[in-house]
Amino acid sequence: MSTATTSILRGGEFLLVASEPSGVFTPERLTDEHRMIGATVRDFVNGEVLPVLDRLEEKDWGLARELVRRGAELGLMGADVAEQYGGLGLDKVASVVISEQMSLSASFAATFGAHANLVVLPLSLFGTEDQKQRYLPRLLSGEMVGAYCLSEPGSGSDALGAKARATRQPDGSFLLNGEKMWITNGGFADLFVIFAKVDPSHVTGSGSEPAGFTAFIVERAFGGLTSGKEEHKMGLHGSSTTPIILQDVRVPAENLLGEVGKGHKIAFNVLNFARYKLGAMCGGGAQGAIGEAARYAATRRQFGAPIASFGAIRHKLGEMVAQAYATQSLIYRTAGLIDARIAATPHEATDQSVVLAAVEEYAIEASIAKVFGSEMMDFVLDENIQVHGGNGYVRDYPAERHYRDSRVNRIFEGTNEINRLLIPGMLARRAAKGGLGLIAAAKALQDELLGPPSLPDADDSPLAEERRTVANGKKASLLALGLAMQTYREALPEQQEVLIHVADMVMETYAADSALLRAGAAAGTAAADLHAAAARTFVNDAAVRIEASARQALATMVEGDTLRTMLAGLKRLFRQMPINTATLRRQLADAAVAQGAYPF
């Protein structure tokens, strides 16, 4: 599937290089095939999944298996898999479209995600030819359902601290023992990707890799693998979540996935894929909730008028739209960057190393998509309940289920706290290795801010003030990150409070930049004013949040005259006049109410 040309920045380079609207992928540039795929998923979820959601929530796993098979018939399980194994070989934008639409049913989206993203994908990326031939066709047809076993009772975020053990046998096979926790599809899956530690004496290499951390492909039919009781969860009642108990599970040597001691490469690379797709699922869920809120507000009357006519409700709806717009913009931009890098690298269709390298290049953006998407969705779903009032708190309306289902997204695929630490951490490591010119840029910025002030170039073009604001957000992010690297050096990973503030600045900047570029790309279209309203609203408020995070970060690192000097420089970056966002939010809210849906 071909997409329009996208200019190719390196991962994290958005902080250093300005992009042109024409060089960024946006949802408006989806092809007819992308749109057809989205319609297929939407029709499947609305027509076949949502009508039986009550049965799924009653733990009817036979029905869940049937829905996986039905989704497989539509090709949804193999979007990322080469055609020779029964997949569709689609681009990453298509996988974002699928994720966005699958979100309409959060429980089944979890079932789908565990199967397609966490089992099919690692097999496709890291499996041997024999493993692919044996398992991918059965997974893609829905004959087998997959589950991914990484977390344990004592190792959640610290995945490499796993206690599960794999003991090599004389015939080359392995015996697995241990327990895995919070396994989606655990109650009924047939095939498991399981991580365990092999005895270090069997690990070859320099010894610098995590000792023996290894991935295995395990069939339930091997014996010794049992599912614990279903967890009583806050949400996602229609998805299976159980412990997996391993008692002398004999795994043939040919079911080793990747290399002994290299399981972390599989785990972390798969998470990169899962993170931007989870961001897309959160974006799609938020868009659906905006439609629910808008339709409810149009029909619910108080004080003799629809509540959609009241300023407080219009403010909520407008802000929900603006935040969803920015999130959707950054997610499609990220997928477009990945696709552009893959397309620019000559390779065979079955060569997964190019895909792996491209996704790893944008690991920073993938973490941003996950954190920003999940937190935006929680905000939107909370406001959806508020718009519904008392009706939002009862099960007669879907608002309360959305709220419960959403909360785990901030824990899935690496907690948001872990991802916040990863974002500046990856930027710093790439800068230290010379892959990104952050250090030179940060030093030049400090010199600029300590020098005499200069007036910005005159520019009266549309969105010019917003472009200056975003450029200054990038500078503020560089200032804080550069100072952190200079102040703490090798001890930077230990300064988690500073890293979190920097991550918030970088995320807000990427979102604002992406929203602004999308609005720029929409110039001259019938919806140009609406795009501009969303981008201007988001950029205006993002600047306030970026400055607040910068002040916190700077005050943590320096004090006295140095702090006063830094704050004076920061003030020079954020001297833009606030705009009337009330009018802009009303415009966005009215569009959502008129359409009864997210208006983009």
Query: For the ranges 195-199, 285-289, 311-315, 423-427, which has the lowest average pLDDT?
Result: 195-199
- Residue 205, pLDDT > 90, answer no
Residue found by looking up tokens 């890291």 in the block: 126
What pLDDT digit, counting tens, does each position of 121-132 carry? 999 999 999 999
Instruction: For residue 557, give the DSSP letter.
Output: H
- Determine the average pLDDT of the residues in 165-187: 96
- Determine the average pLDDT of the residues in 281-308: 97
The per-residue pLDDT for 510 is 98
The reported pTM is 0.95
The per-residue pLDDT for 45 is 97
The per-residue pLDDT for 6 is 61
Q: Which helix (H) or strand (E) holds 489?
A: none
**pLDDT confidence band for 15 (50 / 70 / 90):** very high
Query: For the ranges 45-49, 76-80, 198-202, 495-499, which has the lowest average pLDDT?
Result: 198-202
- Determine the average pLDDT of the residues in 274-285: 97
Catalytic residues: 413
- By CB neighbour count within 10 A (0-12 exposed, 13-18 middle, 19+ buried), where does 589 fall? buried
The per-residue pLDDT for 201 is 67
What the block records as the tokens of 131 is: 């493993």
Query: For the ranges 225-229, 289-293, 576-580, 588-592, which has the lowest average pLDDT?
Result: 576-580
Measure the CA–CA gap between 12 and 593, rounded to whole angstroms.
37
**pLDDT confidence band for 202 (50 / 70 / 90):** low
- Determine the average pLDDT of the residues in 565-583: 93
- Determine the average pLDDT of the residues in 420-426: 97
Strands 165-168 and 191-198: parallel
Q: What is the mean pLDDT of the chain?
A: 94
- Determine the average pLDDT of the residues in 38-61: 97
Domain annotation for the chain: domains and CATH numbers: 13-145 (1.10.540.10), 149-261 (2.40.110.10), 264-413 (1.20.140.10), 417-584 (1.20.140.10)
CA distances from residue 594 to 192, 310, 326, 598 in whole angstroms, order as listed: 47, 15, 21, 10
The per-residue pLDDT for 3 is 45
The per-residue pLDDT for 4 is 47
The per-residue pLDDT for 451 is 77
- Residue 1, pLDDT > 60, answer no
- Residue 353, pLDDT > 60, answer yes
Measure the CA–CA gap between 29 and 342, rounded to whole angstroms.
18
Q: For 259-295, b where at least 16 C-beta lie within 10 A, e where not — what string?
A: bbbbbbbbbebbbbbbbbbbbbbbbbbbbbbbbbbbb
Beta strands in 301-371 (DSSP E): 301-302, 305-306
Phi, psi of 192 (to 5 degrees): -125, 135
- Residue 100, pLDDT > 80, answer yes
Scanning 251-310, the segments in alpha helix (DSSP H) are 263-299
The per-residue pLDDT for 458 is 73
- Residue 210, pLDDT > 90, answer no
**pLDDT confidence band for 2 (50 / 70 / 90):** very low
**pLDDT confidence band for 211 (50 / 70 / 90):** low
Interhelix angle for 528-557 vs 311-343, to 10°?
Answer: 80
Cα–chain center distance at 458: 38
CA-derived radius of gyration, the chain: 24
Measure the CA–CA gap between 348 and 50, rounded to whole angstroms.
39
What pLDDT digit, counting tens, does each position of 440-492 carry? 998 888 888 877 777 777 788 899 999 999 999 999 999 999 999 999 999 99
Contact 410, 382 (CB under 8 A): no
